[in-house]
Amino acid sequence: MIQPPKRLLRTLYFALLTTVVSSSWAIIPEVTPGTPFTPLKPTTEEAITTQQIMSNLLRGHYDRKHLNDQLSSQILDALLDNLDGARSYFLSSDIAGFEIYRNKLDEALARGNMEPAFVIFNLYQQRVNERLSFVLNELKDNADKYTLTDQDTLQLEREDAPWPKSVRELDDLWRKRLTNSMINLKLAGKEDKDMVELLTKRYQNQLNRLHQSRPSDAYQTFMNAVTGTFDPHTQYFSPRNSENFNINMSLSLQGIGAVLQGEDENTKVVRLVPGGPAAKANNLEPEDKIIGVAQGKDGEMVDVIGWRLDEVVDLIRGPKNSIVRLQIVPASSGNDASKVISIQRDEVKLEEQSAQKDIIEIEDKGQIRRVGVIDIPTFYIDFQGRMENRPDYRSTTRDVARLISELKEENIDGLIIDLRSNGGGSLEEAISLTGLFIPTGPVVQVRGSRGNVEVLRDLDPEVLYDGPMTVVVNRLSASASEIFAGAIQDYGRGLVIGGQTFGKGTVQSLRSLTEGQLKITQAKFYRVSGDSTQNQGVIPDIAFPSLFDKEKIGESALDLALPWDTIRPALEKKPVELKGFIPQLTKEHERRIKNNPDFIFMNNQKILADEMRDKTELSLNVETRRQEREAYDERRLQFENARRKAKGMPLLDSLEDQQEDSVASNDANKTGDKKDNENKDKSNNTQAVLPDGESNELALSEGDKEEPEETDAMLEEAGHILLDFVQLGAGQLTAQRSQSSL
């Protein structure tokens, strides 16, 4: 095992700047009167914290920037985008008024002067105040005029729309938004009276929260606009958010195990924590939106549209073994169909994130071959156990080494390492895990902000497994996963199959401040080939269909992400060249999946998902929307039944049938052993397909008889590719490799 490099782990000392100089700033003209609103004011502590943040950013961030007019301009644009990205609150005259700050925010930051930031934030608060007051008056006085029969449309993506020029133009936009909300509730089965009552309560709650805003809200919004101009992973955490971040990092949170973020007025799921309650419940996916939260089986559903993210998180958290019900809009539903799911809260335990093994049997040229599969949800290590020298402490490398030894005793013909949706974890474990498959040598390079490059090596000459192998990845495979997959690919040690990975190739550290913490990017990862894993990620040798939208998920989808680049290679010996095998392997792969029901189903799902993403507007006619939804659901049902028919499975009469089967399956899973549940989680019988086609449900056949378990189509195809690889001579390559020092 190698030790983590001290240079990456030590905390850098920085000077505390305490001089605060104030200056006068032009004030934005008075806003339109509305509900009384008390402006927020910056604090002295925030002024001191600002200077600490800027000192850290300018001296310690990987991307060396200067505090000048160019950075000031970027900060103003980022702030306006963070506040009103959908261009639904500010008027064009407001934006014109903010121009006085375009080249002055750098001076304000240098002095710790938060007055310009608070002027902008207070006007934003006032504009939100006016909009909520307007829509509440509409519900009170004009609700009966909303017939939902207009032939108008609502623009979905407004990031590039012009700023509204008048209050009348804003009123028209908000009438459309209100109409859309009514249609969503109508399609969900709400009566008119209940619909108006719910919406009134929703907007009144948002208005109440607006008046509960604190100076720290304005400060965090502004400082994250500042940090975001350096890169998307550099963030300021207020004292409250620092506590939340530390809880999540310790894995001691009793909740559902989901990473959430605010997006406009919604709370969106970013990813699920492997082994967490949500991941095991199989009913929540990345990009789903949470619009309501209820406690227990019978608690009242609380509408959380427009809530602060930390308040939504507080509602979702709760005691271990308690039930939380979430009303969600699935990413696959077309933006208007919601459903309610239940998740039992629990702690995320290390053993539930641990690597698991399986063997899949594949028919290959008339023979049954056995391919070992090791699923690694995250790169974990029990730091406390290692510090205490416990002989049985858990880690990814230790667990995988044990599983490989067990699989070798079962005479496997090849090995698949499944890193799909593995978001990373311990860098040390990524390096030591790579060492199980290669002799001693470099694994990853780390370049610091001053250009110094550190090569991190596997120092253990033993190769535990020298047979043929593949690594399966997808868009949510990130960070440590990309280091491992990239090293396997660069050494020619095995094939990488699946989807292009996330592209998270930067290193962050936490630094304490007078108020809160700063998470700052201080280094960048590079593969031994010299290519960065940043932004581009790892490109698979053979690509599988993916339901992930690269425009919305992945490093390249993040604003101002650091670019991909290269440095000098660190390979000490010429790697085994596998590119010559790729064309033939790809040809055989495409031949196999051409008529494969599961891959046809995945491609059809991708077509549907792409069509939904390409929609730029929504009809504001309830019957048109109803017809669109029915047509969409009918196509989904057709695709599912086509797959079922091709596989000899019973057909469904409706998508609801599958939902009922899914609930029954999940209830049955609770009584099965862990191994059975692992297999069922990987079944390919699903209504709402997981990203990259990984499925999450097991349907039951007609009557009381259960259907046979389905294999994971992607793993099975990865097994076929691996066996083709063996037939093409990979066995001789691995034999040569095991005798080489590389």
Q: Which domains does the chain have, with CATH numbers?
A: 6-228 (no CATH), 252-347 (2.30.42.10), 597-716 (no CATH)
Half-sphere exposure of 180 (CA within 13 A, CB side): 17
Which residues share a beta bridge with 525?
446
Q: Give the mean pLDDT of 401-422.
A: 96
Average pLDDT of the residues in 15-36 = 38
pLDDT band at 279 (very low <50, low <70, confident <90, very high): confident
Per-residue pLDDT of 670-700, as tens digits, reads: 333 333 333 333 333 322 222 233 222 222 2
* Structure confidence at residue 263 as a pLDDT band (50, 70, 90): confident
Tokens matching residue 469: 């192998």
pLDDT, greater one: 170 or 291 = 170
Alpha-helical runs (H) found in 336-426: 383-387, 396-409
pLDDT of residue 27: 41
pTM for this entry: 0.80
- CB 108, CB 114: distance < 8 Å: yes
Phi-psi region of 393 (alpha: psi -120 to 50; beta: other; left: phi over 0): beta
pLDDT tens, 87-105?
999 999 999 999 999 999 9
Pick 412 or 10 by higher pLDDT: 412
**Euclidean distance between CA atoms 395 and 433, whole angstroms:** 10
| Of 242-251, 465-474, 692-701, 713-722, minimum mean pLDDT range | 692-701
- Provide the token pair at 254: 């009793």
Mean pLDDT over 262-269 rounds to 80
Taking only the tens place, the pLDDT of each residue in 134-166 is: 999 999 999 999 999 989 999 988 989 999 999
* Measured distance CA(435)–CA(458) in Å, rounded: 5
Q: Which of the two residues, 250 and 319, has the higher pLDDT score?
A: 319
The whole-number pLDDT of residue 702 equals: 29
Would you state the pLDDT for residue 703? 32
Side chain identity at residue 231, one-letter code: D
Identify the pLDDT of residue 711: 63
Task: Please give the structure tokens belonging to residue 433.
Answer: 């895990």
Q: Is the pLDDT of residue 265 over 50?
A: yes
Residues 568-590, mean pLDDT to the nearest whole number: 91
Average pLDDT over residues 689-718: 47
Q: Hey, what long-range contacts does 577-584 have (CB within 8 A, 24 or more apart)? A: 577/492, 578/492, 578/495, 578/541, 578/733, 581/725, 581/728, 581/729, 581/730, 582/541, 582/542, 584/724, 584/728
Q: What is the pLDDT of residue 665?
A: 43
Say if CB 433 and CB 419 are below 8 A apart: no
Catalytic residues: 479, 490, 504
Integer Cα distance of 433 and 703 in angstroms: 47
Least confident window among 70-84, 95-109, 350-364, 513-527: 350-364
Residue 23 vs residues 72, 121, 305, 441, 649: alpha-carbon distances, Å: 17, 18, 38, 57, 73
Average pLDDT of 719-739? Answer: 73
Mean pLDDT over 429-457 rounds to 95
Choice between 677 and 543, residue whose per-residue pLDDT is larger: 543
545, 599 in Cβ contact below 8 A? yes
Task: Please answer whether residues 240 and 216 qualify as being in contact, where contact means their C-beta atoms are separated by less than 8 angstroms.
Answer: yes
Least confident of 3-7, 47-51, 687-691: 687-691
Give the tens place of pLDDT for each residue, 341-370. Answer: 999 988 766 556 789 999 999 998 889 999
Distance, CA of 37 to CA of 35 (rounded, Å) = 6
pLDDT for position 241: 66
pLDDT for 36 equals 67
pLDDT tier, 339 (very low <50, low <70, confident <90, very high otherwise): confident
Q: Contact at 8 Å (CB) between 407 and 460?
A: no
Q: What is the mean pLDDT of the chain?
A: 83
How far apart, in whole angstroms, are the C-alpha atoms of residue 57 and residue 77? 19
Mean pLDDT of 487-493: 95
Which has the closest alpha carbon to 231: 114, 352, 74?
Answer: 74
pLDDT of residue 285 exceeding 90, the answer is no
In whole angstroms, what is the distance from residue 160 CA to residue 299 CA?
Answer: 41
- Report the C-alpha gap between 639 and 629 in whole angstroms: 15
Reference 470, options 216, 734, 207, 105; nearest CA is: 734
pLDDT given for residue 51 in this prediction:
94
DSSP 16-75: PP--------PPPPPPPP-S--PPP---HHHHHHHHHHHHHHHHH-SS----SHHHHHHH
* Mean pLDDT to the nearest integer, 570-583: 88
Residue 337 has pLDDT above 60, yes or no: yes
State residue 154's pLDDT score. Answer: 94
Q: By three-state DSSP, how is residue 190 classified?
A: coil
The residues near 89 (Cβ < 8 Å, ≥ 6 apart) are 83, 124, 127, 128, 131, 170
Q: What pLDDT is attached to residue 10?
A: 31
Query: Whole-angstrom Cα distance, residue 271 to residue 425?
Result: 14
Give percent of the chain with pLDDT exceeding 90. 59
Q: How far apart are the first and last CA of the chain?
A: 19
**Contacts (Cβ under 8 Å, ≥6 apart) of 131:** 88, 89, 170, 174
